[in-house]
A and B are shown apart, each in its own frame.
Chain A
Amino acid sequence: MTAAEPVILPGRGGLFGTLSDVLWRNPRLTLLLMLAPPLLWLGIIYLGSLFALLAQSFFSIDEFSGLIRYEWTLKTYAELLRPSNLDIIVRTVTMAAAVTLASAVVAFPIAYYAARYARGKWKAFFYLGAMLPLWSSYLVKIYAWKLILAKEGILTWIFAKLHLTPVLEAWLSIPVIGGNSLSVSYTGTFIVFVYVWLPYMILPTQAALERVPDSMLEASSDLGGSPAQTFRHVLLPLALPGIIAGSIFTFSLTLGDYIIPQIIGSSRLFIGQAVYAHQGTAGNIPLAAAFTVVPIVIMGLYLWMAKRQGAFDAL
């Protein structure tokens, strides 16, 4: 007979041994220690500065001295409603909505392929393909697009080679979305926005589609649903939370961006550019802050509506 092994092992002792035992006995303490640093960061540095910025929007600027008057007022918000400022808001929101819609339409087939057909190395290739654009500098990509879309650029050349120049010219002659060339038109801004934010739409849509079991689609087909009916009644509702998640990215990123419209597009401002101009040279921090409130309110409304439409029911 060998010596009996003890059933209960002695404590390991030392600082870490004791600490392990204490943390094991107090799971709440463990959670607190784990969450305190990020919560402090989020609470004080992130949310704190956001509220400091929002508070600025309730101050106003003295039009004669150009100094900020630290009194609570809604005067700055009234300024937002001036036609020139309202124009900026409408332009930005329209662009964000168009970009979101186009991203969803372009992303869906790619995400569908990746979720339902791609296996093994094709799946790896998909992730690489979807993420690769995110690895290179945003500015380089935008300047590359400026060259592609320029009047002397490759796109004009391709249209010429295909004898489709009249089509391009007809498009560019449409008021508002047209212009001298694609690179100075809203169409160009739109194309680049869709390109840059597309990965943010593809990945959540793919994740949502991945969670739809094959049997769900087979059941719809089995019950008489044609592919179009299955898409409309089963696939789309089940993918909607993913598409909404993606649209939150594309919509809010477009609302806030100030670099793309500055490099590609007409000289008319978007919200981001307005914020940049007001907080910089103009020194009108309250108006800049009021402008930043606009996307926050719009996103809040958007999420509220999405929730009411049942977009998150399938979560």
Chain B
Amino acid sequence: MQTAVAFSQVSRHFGPVRAVDGVDLKIAEGEFFAMLGPSGSGKTTCLRLIAGFEQPTAGHIEIFGETAEGVPPYRRNVNTVFQDYALFPHLSVADNVAYGPMIRGVAKAERMKAAEEALALVQLPGYGARQPGQLSGGQRQRVALARALVNKPKVLLLDEPLGALDLKLREQMQEELKTLQRSLGITFVFVTHDQGEALSMADRVAVFNEGKIMQVGAPEEIYRAPRSRFVADFVGSSNILPPETVERFAGKRAWASLRPESIRLATAGGHAATVLGHSYLGAATRLSVDMDGQRLTLLLPAGATVPATGSQAAIEWNGDDLHLMEDGQ
């Protein structure tokens, strides 16, 4: 399979700020790739480097084997869905979607047909005559998607596209985006700070922190085997155990991650712990306990008996679930 986007040692500095710092990255053709990280971690700058809105300070970027440095955005067959959608307020929905074809000089009748097809693709058939101001947030998001897809880009970039939507709509759009990506076969590069979104949608995830990629891998891999404390904590907020504690259980001095859902209340034996408190989440109950000065969070499935705050409880986990990390960062 061909490489859609390749970064080698790419940096982008803004004065003293190293927004992107020596990133190596390969995104395969047809892949749904997520860039995950807290705000200011460099993920959006990476996206803008692919789009051409930023130029790298150092390093080399290739898009489908062609050098991208110095190529302006309008000469890249790459389209972006902006975080604020950036729909043109003075144009109708159809003219917004037909903007790319219009720029390329496609005849009016033909580009209006293409716009209508793209609108149908995002479940907004017949919305062409409306003005962007008359649409809801979710509809605007779909129009922005249609406006990008109508150009049949080689790579589609999505900058936190679901950030402004409410939970219900966001879940629905996640499904739709995934289906759309499968059926079109276009490479999607998706920027998000929401780890749930990245895990549920992407084929592969890159976790960013402070301008660097901490780990790249399939969602299960990132979740089950985080390489560093940052990844363990940021993706799924794991329990992070210091080397002294880990030595007692695994016989080896290393930082380790223990997922909350891997810990359960022991029926016999187990490790003694004091219950500090609990919060009800609906599908589960989150319990925090103190085990010899080590604070742990565990998830109890719905229906389980929740021990009272202040009471003693025994907890246990499978040895495999205690994941030792190579990196103490």
Q: A223-B103, A229-B103, A233-B99 are in contact. Are A218 and B89 (CB under 8 A)?
A: no
- Given A218-B53, A219-B80, A225 contacting B74 (CB threshold 8 A): yes
- Please tell me if B117 contacts chain A, counting CB pairs below 8 Å: no
Residues of B within 8 A of A233 (CB): 99, 102-103
Task: Please tell me if A234 contacts chain B, counting CB pairs below 8 Å.
Answer: yes
**Contact call A215/B74, Cβ cutoff below 8 A:** no
- Chain B residues closer than 8 Å to A314, beta-carbon distance: 89-90
CB distance from B270 to the nearest CB of A (A): 47
- C-alpha gap A225/B73 in the complex (Å): 9
> Which residues of B have CB within 8 Å of A220?
88, 99, 103
CB of A238 within 8 A of CB of B90, answer yes
Indicate if B151 sits at the interface (CB-CB under 8 A). Answer: yes
Chain A nearest CB from B106 CB (Å) reads 11
Q: Does any Cβ of B come within 8 Å of A166's Cβ?
A: no
Whether a CB of chain A sits under 8 angstroms from the CB of B86 is yes
**Does A222 sit within 8 A of B, measured CB to CB?**
yes
Q: Could you say which residues of chain A place their CB within 8 Å of the CB of B88?
A: 216, 219-220, 234, 238
Residues A213-239 near B (CB distance < 8 A): 213, 215-216, 218-226, 229, 233-234, 237-238
A225, B74: Cα distance in complex, Å: 6
Taking the closest CB of chain B, its distance from the CB of A220, in whole angstroms, is: 7
B79/A223 in contact, CB under 8 A: yes
Do residues B86 and A224 form an inter-chain contact, with CB atoms below 8 A?
no
Q: Which of B51, B87, B100 contacts A224 (CB 8 A)?
A: B100
- Chain B interface size, as a band, is 20 to 34
In the complex, chain A residues whose CB is within 8 Å of the CB of B248: none
In the bound complex, CA of A224 to CA of B148 (Å): 11
Q: How far is the CA of A234 from the CA of B86 in the complex (A)?
A: 11
Q: Which residues of A contact B82 (CB under 8 A)?
A: 215, 218-219
Distance A215 CA – B82 CA, assembled complex (angstroms): 7
Q: Does A313 contact B (CB under 8 A)?
A: yes
Taking residues whose C-beta sits less than 8 angstroms from the other chain, chain A's interface range is 20 to 34
Question: What A residues does B52 contact at CB under 8 A?
Answer: 221-222
Q: Give the CA-CA distance A54 to B100 in the complex, in Å.
A: 52
A223 touches B100 (CB 8 A): yes
A-contact bits for B65-98, CB 8 A (1 contact / 0 none): 0000000111000111011101111100000000
Contact A224 B53 (CB under 8 A): no
Asked whether A224 and B103 contact (CB < 8 A) given A218-B53, A234-B88, the answer is: yes
- A222 near B90: Cβ-Cβ < 8 Å: no
Choose among A215, A216, A222 the residue that contacts B79 (Cβ–Cβ < 8 A): A222
* Alpha-carbon distance between A224 and B52 when the two chains are bound, in angstroms: 12
CB pair A225 B84 closer than 8 Å: no
- Chain A nearest Cβ from B98, distance in angstroms: 10
Contacts A213-B84, A215-B82, A229-B103 known; A221 to B89 CB distance under 8 Å?
no
Most central of B52, B83, B87, B103 by chain A CB within 10 Å: B103
- Measured in the bound complex, the distance between the Cα atoms of B87 and A238 in whole Å is 12
Please name all residues of chain A whose beta carbon is closer than 8 Å to the beta carbon of B74 when the two chains form the complex: 221-226, 229
Using CB atoms, name the residue of chain A closest to B84.
Answer: A215
List, in ascending order, chain A residues with CB within 8 A of B78's CB.
Answer: 222
Residue of A whose beta carbon sits closest to that of B144: A219
| Closest residue of A by beta carbon distance from B100 | A223
Task: Tell me the bound Cα distance from A223 to B77 in angstroms.
Answer: 9
Contact among B86, B100, B147 with A218 in the assembled complex (CB-CB below 8 Å): B86
Is B168 engaged at the interface, CB distance under 8 Å to the other chain? no
Q: Are A223 and B147 closer than 8 Å at their CB atoms?
A: yes
Residues B53 and A223 in contact, CB atoms below 8 Å apart: no
Interface residues of A in 251-286 (CB under 8 A from B): none
Which parts of A57-114 form the interface with B (CB within 8 Å)?
none
CA distance A314 to B133 in the complex (A): 10
* CA–CA, A216 and B147, complex, Å: 13
- Return 22 A-B CB contacts under 8 Å, by A number: A213-B84, A216-B86, A216-B88, A218-B73, A218-B80, A219-B147, A221-B53, A221-B74, A222-B52, A222-B73, A222-B78, A223-B148, A223-B151, A224-B74, A224-B100, A225-B74, A229-B74, A229-B103, A233-B99, A238-B88, A238-B89, A313-B90
Given A219-B88, A219-B147, A310-B90, 12 new contacts (CB under 8 A): A215-B84, A218-B53, A218-B82, A221-B52, A221-B73, A222-B53, A222-B74, A222-B78, A223-B147, A224-B151, A238-B89, A313-B90
